[in-house]
């Protein structure tokens, strides 16, 4: 689809403003919320939006601009069908022009009609083939999402995917650092308490983990907690 100079300049201005605003956001939720709200304000025909996120095989609703969006995500998770589910697991973009006439997901379409959803479009969020969720935008019954809405929506989907990817990397790095610190503390305590070398203390933690079928990091955390509160630390649960 060809855009006039005015449309291109307007979109460029919107994206420039969004980029500046994102720099000022302090956390993941604020960043995603800014992206979704700007998409709702920019994509033609859209009045609500949100992100369906996938993390550790769990699906959750993020930054909905309306309670209906959260209910829509919950319905798709419960029923195991719908445009968000298809966008995440099967294709990149799913368009629903008329929910009342939708036949691909009969159970969800009936639930969506109860929520007064007229039309919607879902964009798969992915970075280097790693699927992170879907950006979902909602329109009224008379709205039909054409090429313009899809192209502009894909730009916001790309921003959301990058934000989620960065947040996931930061979370994984934080978890890794925390795990390493816990193991290091536990090793040090065992070395002092039992006059063990560093490798012997680590081997002791590993053996305790294997024999009890409890994660190494949880065994280490228990050792530290037991040292700080003798007899009061809760025993970690086996896997």
In order of 96, 140, 199, 210, 233, the CA distances from 65 in angstroms are 19, 15, 53, 47, 42
Residues of the chain with CATH 1.10.10.10: 177-228
Class of domain 177-228: mainly alpha
Query: Token pair for residue 155?
Result: 């730009």
pLDDT of residue 201: 82
CATH of 5-172, one of 3.20.20.10, 2.40.10.220, 3.90.400.10, 3.30.450.40: 3.30.450.40
pLDDT digit string, tens, across residues 21-75: 554 555 778 888 888 998 998 888 999 999 998 766 667 888 999 999 999 999 9
The residue among 87 and 207 whose pLDDT is bigger is 87
Q: What is the pTM of this model?
A: 0.63
pLDDT at 145: 92
Examine the pLDDT at 135 and tell me if it is beyond 60.
yes
Residue intervals in the chain for CATH 3.30.450.40: 5-172
Residues 6+ apart with CB under 8 A from 23: none
């Amino acid at each position: 689809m060809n855009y006039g100079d005015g449309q291109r300049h307007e979109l460029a201005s919107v994206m420039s403003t969004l980029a500046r605003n994102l720099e000022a956001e302090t956390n993941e939720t604020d960043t995603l919320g800014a992206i979704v709200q700007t998409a709702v304000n920019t994509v033609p025909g859209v009045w609500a939006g949100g992100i369906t996120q996938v993390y550790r095989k769990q699906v959750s609703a993020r930054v909905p601009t309306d309670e209906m969006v959260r209910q829509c995500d919950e319905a798709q998770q419960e029923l195991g069908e719908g445009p968000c589910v298809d966008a995440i697991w099967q294709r990149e973009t799913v368009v629903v022009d008329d929910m009342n006439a939708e036949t691909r997901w009969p159970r969800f379409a009936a639930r969506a009609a109860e929520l007064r959803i007229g039309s919607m479009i879902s964009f798969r969020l992915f970075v280097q083939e790693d699927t992170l969720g879907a950006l979902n935008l909602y329109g009224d019954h008379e709205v039909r999402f054409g090429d313009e809405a899809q192209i502009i929506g894909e730009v916001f989907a790309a921003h959301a995917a990058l934000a989620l990817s960065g947040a996931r990397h930061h979370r994984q790095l934080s978890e890794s650092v925390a795990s390493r610190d816990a193991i290091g503390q536990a090793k040090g305590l065992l070395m002092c308490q039992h006059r063990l070398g560093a490798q012997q203390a680590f081997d002791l933690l590993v053996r305790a983990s294997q024999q009890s079928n409890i994660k190494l990091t949880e065994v280490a955390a228990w050792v530290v907690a037991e040292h700080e509160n003798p007899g009061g630390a809760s025993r970690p649960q086996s896997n």
